[in-house]
Structure 1
Amino acid sequence: MGVTVTKTGGGRAEIAWDPQTDDPQGRLAKIVENDHLAYVLEAIGGVGFEERAATEEQALKAARCTSEISRLLDRLTATQTVELHDRYKLGWKKIADAVRGTADAQSSIRRKYASGLRHLGRTDS
């Protein structure tokens, strides 16, 4: 894994990546530069709008940033599901257990796989 997260203590960390090999599409740089990462980390940390947003505009921006990252991660999970099934030849049960935390989620994984195929511009399998 090329991206490194170094814990520096006291609630601090340093994130480093190589723009050429780890972020060729510039997604990481954009997420950091546009404050998306900060908004997402605040949301994950449980900080609500009332604590972090002084204005309605800031609250809307926070919601938009979190939503955009959520959609990106959903697309990436879908394409990773295709990779797990097609490249590594893993079965639905094993993928469901890894992705959803339960082997019983095979039907949702099949839907995720179909979504991944669409994102990749494929209609096979």
Structure 2
Amino acid sequence: MAVDVTKTTGNKAEITWNPHEDDPRGHLALAVETGRLKDALSALGATTIEALGDAAALERIVSSTALLQNDLERRMRSMVVELKTRGMSWSEIAALLYGDSNRRSSARAVYNAGVRQLGMGGALVDEND
């Protein structure tokens, strides 16, 4: 993946990617073109919720942020399944996800959600694995 975010001058940044190699399904392009990325970044940077605007603006930003979060959550679950398949321990995955290696059961829950999402029902793990 060669998506690049470069801080240019002052408070500006540039995002570049190759649509054929880095975004073949168009998720990045859609996030930019629909304003979802802009809205989600606005939510991330706002000092207060009130600073995000009137009710209509807030509704749009909430929707954009939720849609982007859902896309990222699905991708994150798939990545966790891949990390476990490659032999990473529950402690290591928990540290990546939560900054706390003791949250192994939470990591397993993310893995199990990823397995269900990918249609790999037989690969679920229980708390003792």
Provide the aligned C-alpha RMSD in A.
1.3
CA displacement, residues 83-106 of structure 1 (integer Å, 9 cap, x when unaligned): 1001x2111111111121111110
- 1:69 is matched with which residue? 68
Partner Cα separation in structure 1 for residue 40 and residue 66 of structure 2: 9
Measure how far apart 1:7 and its partner are. 1.0
Partners of 2:39 and 2:65 within 8 A in 1: yes
Change (3 A) 1:47 1:36: farther
**Identical pairs, percent:** 35
Q: List alignment gaps of at least 5 residues for structure 2.
A: 124-129
Number of residue equivalences: 123
**Scaled by the length of structure 1, what TM-score is found?**
0.91
Measure how far apart 1:49 and its partner are. 4.3
Partner Cα separation in structure 2 for residue 118 and residue 9 of structure 1: 44
Partner Cα separation in structure 2 for residue 119 and residue 37 of structure 1: 24
Answer yes or no: is 1:114 the counterpart of 2:112.
yes
CA displacement, residues 48-99 of structure 1 (integer Å, 9 cap, x when unaligned): 4432324x2221111100111111111111111101001x211111111112
1:30 maps to a residue whose letter is L
Partner Cα separation in structure 1 for residue 72 and residue 2 of structure 2: 18
Partners of 2:43 and 2:52 within 8 A in 1: no
